């Protein structure tokens, strides 16, 4: 029998998941381990230094105070399990833009569409509630999963920053994607 869902903590609710603010008790769970996993962080800039519980707590405290980012936990409704994080970062009030980032830390939910569901919820919130005009994201050229997600969200490839990141002893290109409010199919 599945555990009950704590939807009272929900900020945005989807069909299979909900998004809520990070809380310090998240640092006591599996979350810090995601950023210490070379496999989980293969396609992003994390896993450069050991990530501790204390670092996670500091990040969570900062996330709760900033107005330039909206950082949320991705939680499965079935079992109330924290499986990843998603954020709008560098929210710019004049340009009405932000950068989307996502990390699915629990390998058993990779490839199930949870990232797409979470990202659609957050992008709808960004355009409808925050009145943003543009959402962008950048990812390593080798991160096919994030590239597929960006395209599934209706983002367009906008360019490539050659050898813009150093990971695992090699330079990586960063592929840039963006979507405008007017690009949404339901806009």
What pLDDT is attached to residue 38? 78
Please indicate, yes or no, if residue 47 is contained in any of the structural domains: yes
Please indicate, yes or no, if residue 1 is contained in any of the structural domains: no
pLDDT higher for 68 or 39?
A: 68
Q: Say whether pLDDT at 4 is over 90.
A: no
Q: How far, in Å, are 45, 93, 187 from residue 143 at the CA level?
A: 11, 30, 29
Task: Name 117's Cβ contacts closer than 8 Å, sequence gap at least 6.
Answer: 14, 15, 16, 17
Please indicate, yes or no, if residue 2 is contained in any of the structural domains: no
> In which band, very low, low, confident or very high, does the pLDDT at 84 lie, cut at 50, 70 and 90?
very high
> In which band, very low, low, confident or very high, does the pLDDT at 2 lie, cut at 50, 70 and 90?
very low
What pLDDT is attached to residue 185? 67
Give the chain's largest Cα–Cα span: 50
Average pLDDT over residues 128-141: 96
Please indicate, yes or no, if residue 50 is contained in any of the structural domains: yes
| CATH number, residue 99 | 3.40.630.30
pLDDT tens digits, 7-64: 778 999 999 999 999 999 999 988 888 988 878 877 777 766 688 899 899 999 999 8
What pLDDT is attached to residue 40? 81
Count of CB atoms situated within 10 Å of the CB of 168 = 10
Q: Say whether pLDDT at 1 is over 70.
A: no
Please indicate, yes or no, if residue 169 is contained in any of the structural domains: yes
Q: Say whether pLDDT at 149 is over 90.
A: yes
Q: How far, in Å, are 31, 65, 70, 174 from residue 60 at the CA level?
A: 11, 9, 11, 27
What pLDDT is attached to residue 22? 94
Dig out the tokens for 48 from the structure. 């450069």
Q: Number of folded domains in the chain?
A: 1
- Note the pTM of the prediction, 2 decimals: 0.90
pLDDT higher for 168 or 27?
A: 27
Q: Domain of 158?
A: 7-183
Contacts of 160-166 with C-beta under 8 Å, sequence gap 24+, read 165/45, 165/140
């Amino acid at each position: 029998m599945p555990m009950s869902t704590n939807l009272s903590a929900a900020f945005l609710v989807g069909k299979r998941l909900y998004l809520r603010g990070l809380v310090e008790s998240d640092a006591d769970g599996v979350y810090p381990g995601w950023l210490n996993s070379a496999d989980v962080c293969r396609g992003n800039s994390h896993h450069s230094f050991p990530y501790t519980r204390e670092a996670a707590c500091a990040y969570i405290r900062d996330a709760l105070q900033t107005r330039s980012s909206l950082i949320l936990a991705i939680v499965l409704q079935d079992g109330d399990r924290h499986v990843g994080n998603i954020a709008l970062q560098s929210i710019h009030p004049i340009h009405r833009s932000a950068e989307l980032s996502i990390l699915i830390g629990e390998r058993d939910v990779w490839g199930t569409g949870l990232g797409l569901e979470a990202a659609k919820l957050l992008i709808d919130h960004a355009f409808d509630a925050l009145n943003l005009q543009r959402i962008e994201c950048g990812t390593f050229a080798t991160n096919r999963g994030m590239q597929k997600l960006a395209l599934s969200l209706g983002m367009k490839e906008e360019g490539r920053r050659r050898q813009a990141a150093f990971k695992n002893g090699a330079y990586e290109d960063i592929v840039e994607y963006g979507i405008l409010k007017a690009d949404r199919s339901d806009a």
